[in-house]
Amino acid sequence: MKTIFSGIQPTAIFTLGNYMGAIKNWSALQDEYKCVYSIVDMHAITVKQDPVKLRAQTLNSYALTMACGIDVEKSVLFVQSHNKNHAEMNWILSCSTQFGELSRMTQFKDKSQKHPDDINAGLFTYPVLMAGDILLYQADLVPIGIDQKQHLELARNVAERFNFRYGDFFTIPEPFIGESGAKIMSLGDPEKKMSKSDDNPNASVYILESKDDIVRKFKRAVTDSESSVRFAEEKPGISNLMTIYGVCTGKTMSEIEAEFAGKGYGDFKLAVGETVADTLAPVRDEYARLTANKDYLLGCMKNGAEAALKISDKTLKKAYKKVGFIV
């Protein structure tokens, strides 16, 4: 079986974009692959965090990942900072990463503009930490959104450079991008990705929101001046809603167009909102059940960290030997 690795930051409750673009795919892969999933709290501190809030969000993100379908009996699910090997591998790989490569990372440029008072070294080098996250588990595949392809390409370049210097060692990871829902756009501005950090409270749908709030946000979603439900490049708002509806129902764009032929945007947006809310209802129920048992969650975290450490220890020790350290 091939190995899959993916991680998600615990900086806020997951959006519908996080769910459809990544986590929904995670659970579907558990029976076909060896899956390693992480709450990447070390990445989160590249921007200022409230320590108390970060701890709570990490626990909640862990519970929410389980609620979204990750079975800790099938997959390794752990908190990144619970495995010291990630920090150690980060240094090894930093010495196989070029300054120019990091300076071209678009997310560094974006975050530097958003946080001009805290352009720290970690923000600049965290793609190397991300590469280590993947390579520590010799991952064959990485489920990613389209916007993360640049970071995966860096991981591939670093692995190839290391292998060239020290002999074949790291598996070169390939992207796994779901056929649909890979990139869910903002309801307020369909030209940009749905994001936790959007200033518009109606632009992003969070998967723990109530049905009423979800439906209300979809009713307010930006569309266009036409009235036909049609998937087209010049109709980004409607196309985004059709993508979301398709992910929830399994219907193709042609089937959706036929279903809403002759109907207005109001009917369509209401249908999308209600379908999304109903799709997320089991996730909300399971999250409530899990968070009511903190001891159980902490036990799962401990087991996940031990499993991740066991796997990654082998890779780190071999990497140490490759570069010439005495092990």
Measured between alpha carbons, how far is 302 from 76 in angstroms, rounded to an integer? 11
Measured between alpha carbons, how far is 89 from 42 in angstroms, rounded to an integer? 13
Residue 92 lies in a domain: yes
The pLDDT profile of the chain, 327 residues, written as one tens digit per residue, is: 999 999 999 977 889 988 887 788 788 889 899 999 999 999 999 988 999 999 999 999 999 999 999 999 999 999 999 999 999 999 999 999 999 999 888 877 777 777 788 888 888 999 999 999 999 999 999 987 666 788 899 999 999 999 999 999 999 999 887 655 567 999 999 999 898 878 899 999 999 999 999 999 999 999 999 989 999 999 999 999 999 999 999 999 999 999 999 999 999 999 999 999 999 999 999 999 999 999 999 999 999 999 999 999 999 999 999 999 999
**Predicted local confidence at residue 321, as pLDDT:** 98
Measured between alpha carbons, how far is 203 from 167 in angstroms, rounded to an integer? 48
Measured between alpha carbons, how far is 192 from 56 in angstroms, rounded to an integer? 29
Region class of 205: left (phi > 0), else alpha (psi between -120 and 50), else beta: beta
Residue 114 lies in a domain: yes
Q: Residue type for 36, please?
A: V
Q: Residue type for 239, please?
A: S
Answer yes or no: do 260 and 298 share one domain: no
Answer yes or no: do 273 and 302 share one domain: no
In tens, the pLDDT along 42-56 reads 999 998 899 999 999
Residue 247 lies in a domain: yes
Domain that holds residue 232: 211-288
In tens, the pLDDT along 277-304 reads 999 999 999 999 999 999 999 999 999 9
pTM of structure:
0.88
Q: Residue type for 229, please?
A: V
The DSSP element (H or E) to which 173 belongs, if any, is: none
Backbone φ and ψ of 76, nearest 5° = -90, 120
Say which CATH number the domain at 215 has: 1.10.240.10
Answer yes or no: do 282 and 313 share one domain: no
Residues in a beta bridge with 34: 3
Residue 198 lies in a domain: no
**Predicted local confidence at residue 198, as pLDDT:** 84
Answer yes or no: do 141 and 21 share one domain: yes
Measured between alpha carbons, how far is 19 from 247 in angstroms, rounded to an integer? 11
In the block, tokens 């390693």 appear at: 36
Region class of 22: left (phi > 0), else alpha (psi between -120 and 50), else beta: alpha
Residue 183 lies in a domain: no
Answer yes or no: do 150 and 298 share one domain: yes
Measured between alpha carbons, how far is 320 from 160 in angstroms, rounded to an integer? 17
How many domains, in total, are found in the chain? 2
Measured between alpha carbons, how far is 231 from 9 in angstroms, rounded to an integer? 32
Residue 279 lies in a domain: yes
* Helix/strand number for the chain, H first, E second: 14, 5
- CA neighbours within 13 Å on the CB side: how many for 203? 16
Decide: 65 and 37 in contact? Cβ < 8 Å. yes
Answer yes or no: do 109 and 168 share one domain: yes
Answer yes or no: do 270 and 298 share one domain: no
Residue 202 lies in a domain: no
Answer yes or no: do 69 and 115 share one domain: yes
Residue 204 lies in a domain: no
Measured between alpha carbons, how far is 41 from 11 in angstroms, rounded to an integer? 8
Catalytic residue positions, numbered = 111, 193, 196
Answer yes or no: do 143 and 283 share one domain: no
Answer yes or no: do 160 and 246 share one domain: no
CB-based burial of residue 73 (10 Å sphere; 0-12 exposed, 13-18 middle, 19+ buried)? Answer: exposed
Answer yes or no: do 272 and 232 share one domain: yes
Looking at residue 23, what DSSP letter applies?
I
Say which CATH number the domain at 165 has: 3.40.50.620
Answer yes or no: do 272 and 300 share one domain: no
